[in-house]
Amino acid sequence: MQKELDLVVYGSLNMDYVGYVEKLPKPGETLASNEFIVSPGGKAANQAVASAKLGAKTAMIGRVGNDQIGLSMKEELSKAHVDNECVTITEDVQTGIAMVWVNEAGGNSIVTYKGANENLTKDDIDKSVEKVTRSQGAILQLEMPKDVAQYTIETVSKQGKKVILNLAPIVDIENHYMKMIDLLIVNEPEAEFLAGNKVDSIESAKEAIHIISELGIEHIIITLGEQGAVFKSGNVIKHHAAPKVEAIDTTGAGDCFVGAVSYFWLRRNNLDEAVKHAIQVAALAVTKKGAINSLPTIKDYENFQKQINIDI
């Protein structure tokens, strides 16, 4: 008998090549890094592992190349207890990579190569339906062809499951598909794209949420980095602050938030509570280096939340 799932995550798997520098380079500038690591990542893989480490029964849908990097990515998912059966090895295509620079404040600059991620097809989505039917919902981002992303939204929605969209990178998804979204998660630039207004504060984020909700989406989150997040659930709009931590590396922090908030929301159907906890989990993640390597386990979070007096 097949086990039930909490989440199915669609999207990208990359290997991250990360250099730590005093400051981010200017155009034409050459800098020497103080440290260099190779770390598994990719938005979808980060989100899948983030939710799994917190206790979610998670499956990943994506593509890697027929190379050592791709095999390593599949092994990394297995180590995190993520179902990787539908992570397809693609012949004659390289696994996706990301080149990351991280400055002393933990800020980063990233260049990606899509590689096998761009080969995700509607057939891959069709093959995943059995997993979707056993889940509560699905997460997707947009490091995949637009038509496949829209097909994924429609396919998950038709199964009566929750559709969670992280609009990253920015892609102009047609309104017909946006209306199928149950939970939309965006950062400031992504919120600006949808709302048409500058988003650089808590108040401007609240204004943007009003505008974005006119697309017909009931649950919306705008992440604000160290300022936490603003969310809308039904008629409630609220802000949760982030705890003060020493940021070492913010790579993957947004993905950590997406994976965490999705799991907590599906588990208890309470977005207020889910956002509060996901902010804490993401804050803990930035205190370590790497993307997947920095993602906290539920035990890590339990210890952290005792320090900040939050119950999970």
Catalytic residues: 255
Q: CA 219 to CA 110: how far, in whole Å?
A: 29
Tally of CB atoms within 10 A around 148: 21
Q: CA 71 to CA 65: how far, in whole Å?
A: 8
Amino acid at 28: G
String of DSSP letters for 64-86 = EESSHHHHHHHHHHHHTT-EEEE
60 touches 269 (CB < 8 A): no
User: Left if phi > 0, otherwise alpha if psi is -120 to 50, otherwise beta: which for 196?
Assistant: left
Distance of CA 10 to the CA centre of its chain: 10
54 touches 3 (CB < 8 A): no
Q: Which residues contact 107 (CB under 8 A, 6 or more apart)?
A: 24, 250
